[in-house]
Amino acid sequence: MAQRINISPPAPTPKKLKWIFACKQKYHKKLRGAVLPSTKVNPWSTSDRAPAKGFSVKGLTQRLWNIDWHSCFPLKLSNTSVSASLGNFEKMSLFTKQNFLDIYEYEANDQRFLPIENTESRVRYYEEAVDIFLFEDERRVVGIFTGNPLDWSTYYIRNCSILEAYQNQGILQSFLPCFLGRLKEAGVVRVETDISPSNLVNIHVLNKAKFNITGMNMSERWGSILRFTKFLKENNESTFLDQFCFGVRYQKKPTSS
């Protein structure tokens, strides 16, 4: 029977040991300079940190539809002293914190609906997916407008808040044509938003802009809300009107001056 012979490798020479040590030093130095996977690393971040290779810092609207809002704004709104410009999460949050209760006549101790927690994921969502616009009067922020892609063919208006002193001045009416026109040019099919049934002012504005009431929802955050849809393609609006609507079709009539 053949016997197994164990042959131990020769001990490394001092020169070999020195070479091995140098290789380890070089490897660890390279490893320390590398960006390792981590739950704290956000490859989609729009901060000053360089993005990971292969990722883009473009907003979601630009990535989907190639819309660069910088080419449209700032914009002087007609018949007002207000201009619309691009904003950011910090400015939006500051405006909301200072004015939300007054704009919406909301009681701070009203506990009927759950409050919105400003979590890290919410901040990232707004920074990476939401378009933020500011309404400014001589650099004073008097209102905000936010929205984001809902899917590949739908844009969602999240919020429009304007100080009471600047309401009923046609700010939103002057802003929407340019905004909706750019979305239409890019091939967006529809724009949607949700509004409380008691918010008659904004409902009136959307009616004038020929938004359709397309649904109703109930939320633990906002209560009862109406879904409004502005169709940017005639065929889609005709299908909706033919299938679900009866009577006068105001949407098909020329817009009055």
Q: In the structure, what pLDDT confidence band is assigned to residue 53 with cuts at 50, 70 and 90?
A: very low
Q: Which of 7-11, 81-85, 208-212, 238-242 has the lowest mean pLDDT?
A: 7-11
Q: What is the CA radius of gyration of the chain?
A: 28
The strand pairing partners of 244, in sequence order, are none
Q: Is 217 helix (H, G, I), strand (E, B) or coil?
A: strand
Lowest mean pLDDT among 44-58, 216-230, 232-246: 44-58
Burial of 104-114, coded b for 16+ CB within 10 Å and e otherwise, reads eeeeeeeeeee
The pLDDT > 70 percentage for the chain reads 76
Q: 162-189 as b/e, with b when 16 or more CB fall inside 10 Å?
A: bbeebbebebbebbbeebbebbeeeebb
User: Which residues have CB under 8 Å from 57's CB, separation 6+?
Assistant: 44, 45, 46, 51
CATH superfamily membership of 64-245: Gcn5-related N-acetyltransferase (GNAT) (3.40.630.30)
**pLDDT single digits (tens) 104-122:** 766 667 777 667 788 999 9
Q: Is the pLDDT of residue 2 over 70?
A: no
* pLDDT value for 101: 80
Mean pLDDT of the chain: 83
**Whole-angstrom Cα distance, residue 213 to residue 207?**
9
What pTM value is reported for the model?
0.74
Cα–Cα distance measured from residue 179 to residue 175, given in angstroms and rounded to the nearest whole number: 6
pLDDT tens readout for residues 20-42: 777 766 665 655 554 444 333 33
- The string of pLDDT tens digits covering residues 60-91 is 999 999 999 999 999 999 989 999 999 999 99
216: left (phi over 0), alpha (psi -120 to 50) or beta: beta
